Structure 1
Amino acid sequence: MTICKRTTISRWLLSSITAIGLVASAPALALDSIKMLVPANPGGGWDQTGRGLAQALQQGELVKKIQIDNKGGAAGTIGLAQFVNSAKGDPTAVMIGGSVMVGGIALNKSPVNLSQVTPIARLTGEYDVLVVPSSSPIKSLKDLIAQFKANPGAVSWGGGSAGGTDHIIVAMIAQATGVDVSKINYIPFAGGGEAQAAVLGGHVTVGLSGYNEFAGQIQSGKFRPLAVTSGKRLPGIDVPTLKEQGVDVELSNWRAIFAAPGINDAQKKELMTTIDKAVRTKAWHDLLAKNGWVDAYLPGDAFAQYLESEVKQTEKIINSLGLAKK
């Protein structure tokens, strides 16, 4: 009788231990699904990054289901506020963001900021291209700068949200060419698709955005590229840089993924591991090559340190250019 009881207990303990082991080794339920917030309208760089990452995650069989929600406006700070307020502690929630958001927060003195979310990884970098419609009388960067210096307000610049990378580039061009920054006529758009339509319709003098967002219109001959914001010419792209044309400006637009505020270390590590696997997939590298994006992958704490430095530098630029709200 005693032997039977011991055998029963031993079997129960063995089955319990096995069950515990299975639970421990199984994938976390959080990665069965992910809710991705893209704080911009469809068609822009953040949207392309988010959807490309989602594709890599699913093709790599890293996440079963991904829901993408676009919430554009105010350089991403509207979406950021929604994310901070509604996703706290949710290990299935992630958000795409980047340098545009850093600038928007500084310019608008936003009540929410990136210290309130969890940095997971910097993903990509991209340089801007300045374009005009093919029908424009502006044939070169020299023509554009001449008009800009002669009558700054008459030259309208169409780009991303106010305070973002595009806006800062225009301000830096003004400073580099001796134009009063306060006279810039900058027209912000919530997404790259809107900016593209504005350039095509002749509603702005010049448009600027990541090269990939305008690549199709450049290749079809509808847009005339004037300059790129890289230090050196981009591989396979025959467009001169601002610097080689005498305008000493260089700036890149990085994009990243963040997790919700209030998640624990294990949940953060799990997301980081998943993203680390995603950026090693063929699908992700094909996306980088297709879009001409720089592989700027920087995970975890290293990204958090970079972000802190980037926030300080961007705030300094915006304040020195007089862009921040009073």
Structure 2
Amino acid sequence: MHLSKRDFLSFSAAAGASLVLPTRAQNKPLIASINMFVPAAPGGGWDGTARAIERAAKAAGLVGNMQFENVGGAGGMVGLPRFVNQRKGQANTLMVGGSVMIGAGIANKSPVTIKDVTPIARLTEEAGVIVVPASGKIKTWKELESALKANPKAVSVAGGSAGGTDHLILGMLIKALGKNPREAAYVAFAGGGPANAAILGGQVTAGISGWSEFEEQIKAGRMIPLAVSGKRRIPGVNVPTLTELGVNVTESNWRGVFAPPGISAPQRDAMIDFMTKLNVSAQWRQELETRKWTDAFMTERPFERDLTKDIEEKIVLMKELGLA
């Protein structure tokens, strides 16, 4: 059975250099101040996305100031209810979220879900990378594959929150190798820092996360990248896809921004305009290139339809993998 998730639509307003906006740094910023809510601990993918938005938006003259609040835990399920209840109706307020939040909501049977906020824009897509510590016994993909085929329970794998993209990739991988995905020895962490520490400390056999979260350790030679979960290799990274290695699994993690519930149409449109201008800025294009994120920009009805479809598909997939 082919476990590949549907192709993510990728709409980009940046069709060419002519669309890149000139800096507004010498003028009044588009928005004076934005409150950015991050439902995760500092150092992880959502936090990294939020900080990248701040850097690019300030450099492009799109925002004067950005205040942050981090509330981590359970794949966003601790922070999300706070955002929904305490920020309802607030203008110039955004929350970073994405596919991990969908899976975590399903896994935790949360009464508050991503459907309770206002979709603004999908920004990026990032494939997962499977790594092992350079100091560990397993050094190659074949060795890891053999270990998973022999006994998945004996191969502990670190990743993000339970039910998130990293967890799904492991479940899909184990099933594709002919084993029961319910036997996955998945070790969930609330942030990239603790997961990295567990991998480097030999507390787990392997790890799964986005390239941007492992890149520093890989470049330092402390982690060995074995495979990526995307449809294609990451540009500039000589690591094969799972498909190239004969494993029929593809899955990626998308990230975007949401506004609180209860805002007015003009307030929503102002945030969409802000994100659209950010997306075509040279500063944001540089962030995408540096972090090896794939542009997956989408707003308004296309994003809302895509979000609904993603939720429906994840419910089916997680039930199939025994995660819901």
TM-score in terms of structure 2 length? 0.89
Tell me what 1:180 maps to.
Answer: 180
> Residue type of the partner of 2:279?
V
Q: Deviations over 1:133-181 (max 9, x none)?
A: 1122212122112111212211101000000000000000011011112
Report SS of the residue matched to 1:273: helix
Tell me what 1:293 maps to.
Answer: 293
Q: Distance in 2 between matches of 1:306 and 1:118?
A: 14
Q: Distance in 1 between matches of 2:190 and 2:168?
A: 16
How big is the shift at 1:232? Answer: 2.1
> Residue type of the partner of 1:117?
V
- Contact 1:56–1:279 (8 Å) recurs in 2: no
How big is the shift at 1:321? Answer: 1.0
Tell me what 1:284 maps to.
Answer: 284
1:155 and 2:161 are equivalent in the alignment: no
1:204-215 to structure 2, matched below 5 A, reads: 204-215=204-215
Tell me what 1:17 maps to.
Answer: none
Q: What is the alpha-carbon root mean square deviation over aligned residues?
A: 1.4
Report SS of the residue matched to 1:64: strand
How big is the shift at 1:128? Answer: 0.8
> Residue type of the partner of 2:87?
A
1:16-35 to structure 2, matched below 5 A, reads: 31-35=31-35
Report SS of the residue matched to 1:81: helix
Q: Distance in 2 between matches of 1:149 and 1:256?
A: 35
Tell me what 2:101 maps to.
Answer: 101
How big is the shift at 1:182? Answer: 1.7
Q: Distance in 1 between matches of 2:196 and 2:301?
A: 36
Q: Distance in 2 between matches of 1:295 and 1:51?
A: 17
Tell me what 1:40 maps to.
Answer: 40
How big is the shift at 1:28? Answer: 11
1:137 and 2:137 are equivalent in the alignment: yes
How big is the shift at 1:208? Answer: 0.8
Tell me what 2:202 maps to.
Answer: 202
Tell me what 2:50 maps to.
Answer: 50
Tell me what 2:75 maps to.
Answer: 75
Q: Deviations over 1:177-221 (max 9, x none)?
A: 111122111100111121111111111110110011111111111
Tell me what 1:305 maps to.
Answer: 305
The 10-residue stretch of structure 1 (161-170 or 127-136) with the greater mean CA deviation from structure 2: 127-136
> Residue type of the partner of 1:202?
G
Tell me what 1:59 maps to.
Answer: 59
Unaligned runs of 5+ in 1: 1-26
Tell me what 1:316 maps to.
Answer: 316
Tell me what 2:229 maps to.
Answer: 229
Q: Distance in 2 between matches of 1:272 and 1:195?
A: 33
Structure 1 moving runs of 4+ over 6 Å: none
1:259-278 to structure 2, matched below 5 A, reads: 259-278=259-278
Q: Distance in 1 between matches of 2:61 and 2:94?
A: 18
- Contact 2:29–2:63 (8 Å) recurs in 1: no
How big is the shift at 1:59? Answer: 1.6
Report SS of the residue matched to 2:244: helix
Tell me what 1:116 maps to.
Answer: 116
Unaligned runs of 5+ in 2: 1-27
Report SS of the residue matched to 1:36: strand
- Contact 2:102–2:314 (8 Å) recurs in 1: yes
Report SS of the residue matched to 2:231: coil
- Contact 1:57–1:278 (8 Å) recurs in 2: yes
Tell me what 1:86 maps to.
Answer: 86
How big is the shift at 1:32? Answer: 2.1
Length, aligned pairs only: 297
